[in-house]
Chains A and B, each alone.
Chain A
């Protein structure tokens, strides 16, 4: 590898001056950009702070952004600087003959590897501590919330709607969803036909709804407000129309709503199959009828 200058045209001093300029420009823009990302846009970044989990995701987006944006800006600065300065033409001689540089290459390997390993470690911490970060953790999660779960909501997806069952309220089934604030919640997500996905955007919750699988996700509500529920896995024709809205309300309001629904739905609840973690769709799959699963999993409710 050649590290020395091959022609007098390309002096070391000139090279250093290029480096200084590139690094100088980069530092200025990177610091400004990071300031804006963290302090100005940061607090408004998705998905908001309605739950512990959403807040964690927002924090992760911020952290990755303040690391990634300087990387992006470094490459831009270098690239645009080169385009501006290192120009040639048909009648001009060739460029600087250099095929490698041990120092630069080593520095690059070390810096990228450090960044990447840091991000992997950081991501793992941010996944485990907030109990799976709001993502689906399968039937037997190992990263559970530090405070006990107060409310269990079963989300049953089918073509093309979500319904919710509430084991703590007599196993009633509702078509709308309300949640109490300041509460540790467990979502049990399942499907009775194809794969769907329960995405409660502002809650920072996303879990695939698979037939015959109970996919558990946790969230702790922190703020009042409305949230959107969308299906996030292609499930057939009306996938695009498979959404509804829910609210995080005060604990008293929630209790009132739930007990009232329980009373109102009592006659229907009697006809439903017993609450179970998974269900098998009725023989035709039509009309949304379903039965307790024949799967041993399904009887452990």
Chain B
């Protein structure tokens, strides 16, 4: 299939910072907040007016309809106040919206506005995600503090579970976007030689869903929280107070965010590749993004559907998830995990994309087995849809299907293993440079190994009987997500700071951050495998006295981990805002196209659509062509107009 990527498709100013042509006053975060609050109040009033009789406890004001309508109108207000809806409303009203006009905007105010510049959106995402990550991380410290003692309680059981639920939900919903947001949006157009993304409005809207989801999720704490954990099993989640509405609504909002950003990502990668950017030359980050985007597009709607059903059960008192009234508590478990399992892989794939992108640069070698790497990612993405019931082995649902789900789950280890083959092959006879980003990438492989290997334990049904629902599973997935995804993201921040901000973060501080984080992470999570095997269930505020020493060890380690991350934030912000250590251009001597445009990256990325001449990882080949011709005379003259060739 040859997709014509003519220069017309790439032209225009669509991807650039666009001012909706209003001098002086422009809509921003604050107008968004104001209109959002007004929307919430309106929705809440309306909910009480139309469904006052549906109060959970009469006279308590705990009316789920009012809360949910408040959230709905609040979010619409937020979008209106930010100006996101101007364009579609004008279009629908038949008014031609003002032409998009490029206008370079200095200063930081542009980050607090709805903007169509993919690089601004990337930065918004980067800081948003770090903010969400640190909020949830702080909650984790709260969890560990409670577990210092098996019997002395700091929070008490209700607050403890609220913290557990907030931590888990915040992490699991936000971190889905921790790579696509800051790195996918920013880098993919650069890497594939495009001046813009396909749907800048969707991309920008995707970001603006996240602060709304964040605020709404946290607002649960003022409403008594929710004690169902991030998995929200019914009927517990139906029984809970209105805090659960915040859970379901914010999770759904983030679902919409994932869908919108995936649509943009898929369309961009398929249609906006420069001439010569064949599928076989596509950078690993782009492969990570397109596999994740497909996984999101197919799985997230199921989550939203499940949450919608939960919302109905809670607000207008249907009984779809409630046993004994015609519904079934198995329904939610199925809907949730049909999304939930692909989700865990859509947390892993971007991490691998980043790792395989960065590894060759510091190994000074080509990526070993490019096709194997792609097959690994595609294989994981596809298989991830066929394994969800491994979370339900002991649930009593479909027990005869257990051998099948055991098989499919274990099969996933094969494509996952491909990625290790690629990693090992790339290190083989390399000339490794141990800069900070490389340390993080090596740690990704080290950490994920524990996650992957324990995955084989949890997927063996007899072993699963012992470990299901215990700290063993908790350690398993923290190794895969924190140990893999977050380490990859940290490495990528060090790696891309020169490109994003023109600064090179201090090596020594970076190494201090790396080593403290690496050691304390392992020291926090390795003992959790043991705790699980010794019989400690998850999400408990009380545990056997004989497990106290291990738990204290873990808690202390987690404090060190927290300090290490705090150290990162302080040094990062300090260097970014105060010292700004200037970076040379392309300090890592990367071949990546994204590094060839110079700093600051010109607004449209490229003056002319580049012509891609060779793959991005040709290190060690003295005869390799440069990755692209940035000043092609006339694309068609070079005879590579068929950029999308497979």
Set of chain B residues within 8 Å of A273, measured between Cβ atoms: none
Q: Given A136-B396, A139-B396, A211-B323, are A120 and B406 neighbors across the interface (CB < 8 Å)?
A: yes
Q: How many residues of B contact A (CB 8 A)?
A: 90
A18, B429: Cβ atoms closer than 8 Å: yes
A61, B394: Cβ atoms closer than 8 Å: no
A206, B433: Cβ atoms closer than 8 Å: no
Q: Does A262 contact B (CB under 8 A)?
A: no
Name the interface residues of B429-460: CB closer than 8 Å to any CB of A: 429-434, 442, 445-446, 449, 453, 456-457, 459-460
Set of chain B residues within 8 Å of A105, measured between Cβ atoms: 369, 372, 421
**Per-residue CB proximity of A67-81 to B under 8 Å, as 1/0?**
010011001001100
Chain A binder among B207-215, B350-358, B409-417: B409-417
B382: shortest Cβ distance to chain A, in Å?
16
Set of chain B residues within 8 Å of A127, measured between Cβ atoms: 402-403, 406, 461-462
Set of chain B residues within 8 Å of A201, measured between Cβ atoms: 466, 535
Chain A binder among B231-239, B248-256, B507-515: B231-239
Q: Does B620 contact A (CB under 8 A)?
A: yes
* CB within 8 Å: A-B pair count: 291
Chain A binder among B263-271, B474-482, B538-546: B538-546
Name the interface residues of A52-103: CB closer than 8 Å to any CB of B: 53, 56-57, 60-61, 64, 68, 71-72, 75, 78-79, 82-83, 86-90, 92-101
A204, B466: Cβ atoms closer than 8 Å: yes
B236, A195: Cβ atoms closer than 8 Å: yes
B537, A231: Cβ atoms closer than 8 Å: yes
Assign chain A's interface to a size class: 35 or more
Set of chain B residues within 8 Å of A78, measured between Cβ atoms: 424, 427
Set of chain A residues within 8 Å of B233, measured between Cβ atoms: 194-195, 233-234
B428, A98: Cβ atoms closer than 8 Å: yes
Q: Does A230 contact B (CB under 8 A)?
A: yes
B466: shortest Cβ distance to chain A, in Å?
5
Q: Given A18-B429, A68-B456, A136-B394, are A47 and B466 neighbors across the interface (CB < 8 Å)?
A: yes
Set of chain A residues within 8 Å of B364, measured between Cβ atoms: 88, 93-95
Q: Does B470 contact A (CB under 8 A)?
A: yes
Report the Cα distance A201→B466, complex, angstroms: 7
A135, B393: Cβ atoms closer than 8 Å: yes
**Per-residue CB proximity of B315-358 to A under 8 Å, as 1/0?**
00000000110001110000000000000000000000000000
B367: shortest Cβ distance to chain A, in Å?
7
A60, B324: Cβ atoms closer than 8 Å: no
Set of chain B residues within 8 Å of A45, measured between Cβ atoms: 533
Report the Cα distance A191→B227, complex, angstroms: 18
Q: Does B363 contact A (CB under 8 A)?
A: yes
Q: Does A294 contact B (CB under 8 A)?
A: yes
B463, A64: Cβ atoms closer than 8 Å: yes
Q: Does A36 contact B (CB under 8 A)?
A: no
State the majority secondary structure of interface residues on A. mixed
Q: Does B534 contact A (CB under 8 A)?
A: yes
A97, B537: Cβ atoms closer than 8 Å: no
Q: Which of B227, B425, B461, B469 is A133 in contact with, Cβ under 8 Å?
A: B461
Chain B binder among A26-34, A168-176, A236-244: A236-244
B157, A238: Cβ atoms closer than 8 Å: yes
A206: shortest Cβ distance to chain B, in Å?
5
Set of chain A residues within 8 Å of B544, measured between Cβ atoms: 228
Q: Does B161 contact A (CB under 8 A)?
A: yes
Q: Does B260 contact A (CB under 8 A)?
A: no
A195, B456: Cβ atoms closer than 8 Å: no
Q: Given A46-B534, A86-B430, A95-B619, are A119 and B456 neighbors across the interface (CB < 8 Å)?
A: yes
Q: Does A275 contact B (CB under 8 A)?
A: no
Q: Given A135-B465, A237-B158, are A88 and B431 neighbors across the interface (CB < 8 Å)?
A: yes
B407, A57: Cβ atoms closer than 8 Å: no
Q: Does A152 contact B (CB under 8 A)?
A: no
Set of chain B residues within 8 Å of A213, measured between Cβ atoms: 323, 330, 396
Set of chain B residues within 8 Å of A98, measured between Cβ atoms: 365-366, 368, 425, 428-429
Q: Does A299 contact B (CB under 8 A)?
A: no
Set of chain A residues within 8 Å of B461, measured between Cβ atoms: 123, 126-127, 133, 135
Q: Does B398 contact A (CB under 8 A)?
A: yes
B236, A235: Cβ atoms closer than 8 Å: yes
Report the Cα distance A101→B229, complex, angstroms: 46
Report the Cα distance A182→B459, complex, angstroms: 29
Report the Cα distance A71→B453, complex, angstroms: 9
Set of chain A residues within 8 Å of B542, measured between Cβ atoms: 240-241
Q: Closest residue to A137 on the B side, CB-wise? A: B399
Could you write out 12 A-B pairs with CB less than 8 Å apart?
A15-B429, A53-B465, A82-B432, A96-B430, A105-B421, A119-B456, A123-B460, A137-B396, A216-B396, A228-B544, A234-B229, A240-B541
Chain A interfacial positions (CB closer than 8 Å to B): 6, 10, 15, 18, 45-47, 53, 56-57, 60-61, 64, 68, 71-72, 75, 78-79, 82-83, 86-90, 92-101, 104-105, 108-109, 112-113, 116, 119-120, 122-124, 126-128, 130, 132-139, 141-142, 189, 193-195, 197, 199, 201, 204-208, 210-213, 215-216, 228, 230-241, 280, 293-295
